[in-house]
Amino acid sequence: MRIFGKGRHRPSASWRQATDRAFTLIGDGRYEDAGALLTRAADLEPWLSESWFNLALLHKFRHDWEQARTAGLRAVALLDRDTGAPDWWNVGIAATALQDWPLARRAWQAYGLRVPGAANDSGEPLGMDLGSAAVRLSPEGEAEVVWGRRLDPARIEVLSIPLPSSGRRWGEVVLHDGVPHGERTTAAGHTYPVFDEIELWAPSPVPTWVVLLEAATEADRDALEQLAADAGFAAEDWSSSVRLLCRMCSESRMPSDEGDGEHLDPHDHSEPGHPGPLGHRTDGQLWVPERECGLAAPAALVRGLLDGWVADSPDSRDWRDLEEVC
């Protein structure tokens, strides 16, 4: 018997029973009970990488990143292949949560990804250029899918303005898992994965505001969004960007822009004729001047942005009922 060798062997029936029962408990949210069973399984078969992988997975679900890193490192030490193992992915997530950048680099590289910088670089990996993706905020609660920029394999910077019910802000960085739950496609045919948020990694100091606009045309609305972007912040017309989807639809492959115009989206479960979070569908010809808009900007700047927007075209623009919501 090779106690800590990398040889494969069939795990015992007791190990399988404890592990199967543990994952049933995990599905029920009983993490403490599952942890006791997975610890017993690791005691029974400490030479199996799966024993430590399962413990690392449990600690990830519990957001116990120190324990996840420890168990993950024991798992990868027992692997019988050099690259591509999901054990390394879990180590990468735990290391990213802990800002252990040398280990994060090592983990992503061992998984098979190209990571800029030297292996012993103590700074966070920059310049991975992973592009855009969507992230589902609060996936176990009142979930909301927003757009963001992937900083590395486990982090997304939120570039949409989330609704206040999510508790998230524009510019925040969230930790996510590597398994997409759904996709979003654009009119240009590009497809983007939807990842589930694990937890908030870096908060944003920029508050979220909601304001009612009077914008005579789409160009008036667009002018406010551009004005906010030019100032380094953001504005988003929630009346046209928000759709209510059931969980099945949200976790499927969904067009990101259907529901606007004359093509009514059969998966949109909101009510037509109501702006903002209640729905945004129109007949494709009628522009509704009253718009519910989200703004991400400091308190000292937000009113100046709105007043400047109105001043550029006072006959076609106005605003009222500004409120900080997150």
> What are the structural domain ranges in the chain?
13-111, 126-258+268-274+287-325
Residue 23 has pLDDT above 90, yes or no: yes
Q: What is the average pLDDT score of the chain?
A: 84
Q: Read off the pLDDT of residues 81-106 as tens digits, 9 standing for 90 and up.
A: 767 889 999 999 999 999 999 999 99
Side-chain half-sphere of 288: how many Cα atoms within 13 Å?
22
Q: Residue 130 — very low, low, confident or very high, per pLDDT cuts 50/70/90?
A: confident
Question: What is residue 156's predicted lDDT score, i.e. its pLDDT?
Answer: 95
Give kind and range of the element (H or E) at residue 24: helix 13-27
Q: Does residue 34 register a pLDDT over 90?
A: yes
**243: burial class by Cβ within 10 Å (0-12, 13-18, 19+)?**
buried
Confidence bin at 3 (pLDDT 50/70/90)? very low
Distance CA 109, CA 215 (A): 50
Contact between 176 and 135 (Cβ < 8 Å)? yes
Written as six digits, the tokens of 233 are: 């912040």
15-to-37, 44, 72, 177, 293 alpha-carbon distances in Å: 9, 6, 19, 27, 55
pLDDT, position 185: 80
| Residue 319 pLDDT grade (very low, low, confident, very high; cuts 50, 70, 90) | very high
- Average the pLDDT over 214-226 and give the result: 96
C-beta of residue 6 within 8 angstroms of C-beta of residue 85 = no
Q: With cut-offs at 50, 70 and 90, classify the pLDDT of residue 8.
A: low
Cα–Cα dist 10/13, whole Å: 9
Instruction: Supply the pTM of this predicted model.
Output: 0.81
Q: Which residue has the higher pLDDT, 9 or 302?
A: 302
Q: What is the CATH number of domain 13-111?
A: 1.25.40.10
232 token code pair: 């380094």
| Of 244 and 134, more confident | 134
Among the ranges given (105-109, 153-157, 188-192, 235-239), the one the predictor scored with the smallest mean pLDDT: 188-192
Of 266, 259, 264, residue with least CA distance to 242? 259
For 225-281, how does the pLDDT look when each residue is reduced to its tens digit (9 = 90+)?
Answer: 999 999 999 999 998 866 544 444 444 444 555 333 333 444 444 443 333 333 333
Rounded to whole angstroms, the Cα distance separating 57 from 204 reads 28
Contact 192, 184 (CB under 8 A): yes
